[in-house]
Structure 1
């Protein structure tokens, strides 16, 4: 915990995956509620098959899901969402003539049933 999942439409050419993950981890790890940077696990995936509206190819998206153990205040969740959105805005390619939608969702994970172990 936290787990950060990023999906983006594959029509965003030259998407900076490594840089995005590095900067997203720095943004999340830099929040005072994240005690151990090793707890932040991020991954990214290009979505090959997607549909946005009715005009294929003229639209793209980047969506981030941040999964946190339950218990954080709405204010903390908003701060984390804003940090992630800032990185997405800064690093997402903007191909000419394409509308790119950015979104962030913060999801509570049930603290009682969540398992974490280390080997």
Structure 2
């Protein structure tokens, strides 16, 4: 915990400057500061999505969506503050190189009571 997934469209490969490692580092720092997570517990995986369509346009758009799963116990205000901070990090770390429009979103949710993990 926290479990973080960053879905991003294939357009970010070529048309954007997106240093995923730097983004994850800053994201982990933000999650620790706002959600009181342990630094070593932050895990982020990036998933590239090949096909994205926004409205009637097929080209000219890119997407980033950040999912953050936390154990229960954070206030709604803390979760909202974290979501806003994540969107600011996307603004800082994802820059269009060719004029492609970026659509960014984020959500913080509580992990289900069935969540379990192990480390070896």
Same topology, TM > 0.5? yes
TM-score class normalised by the smaller sequence? 0.7 to 0.9
1:85-113 per-position Cα deviation (integer Å, ceiling 9, x unaligned): 11101111224432211100111112x32
RMSD between aligned residues? 1.6
* d(CA) in 1 for partners of 2:117, 2:77: 26
**Closer, same or farther: CA 102–32 of 1 in aligned 2, 3 Å:** closer
Q: In 1, are the aligned partners of 2:4 and 2:43 still within 8 Å (CA)?
A: yes
* d(CA) in 1 for partners of 2:58, 2:35: 41
* d(CA) in 1 for partners of 2:6, 2:24: 9
The answer for unaligned runs of 5 or more in structure 2 is: none
Q: TM-score, normalised by structure 2?
A: 0.86
Q: TM-score, normalised by structure 1?
A: 0.87
Instruction: Please name the residue that 1:9 is paired with.
Output: 9
Q: CA deviation at 1:62?
A: 0.8
Q: CA deviation at 1:116?
A: 2.2
1:1-57 per-position Cα deviation (integer Å, ceiling 9, x unaligned): 1111101111122422222112111221223522x2111111112211222222122
1:59 aligns with 2:56: no
Alignment of 1:28-39 (within 5 A): 28-31=31-34, 33-34=36-37, 36-39=38-41
Q: Secondary structure at the match of 2:88?
A: helix
Larger helix percent: 2
Instruction: Please name the residue that 2:93 is paired with.
Output: 91
The answer for unaligned runs of 5 or more in structure 1 is: none
Aligned length: 117
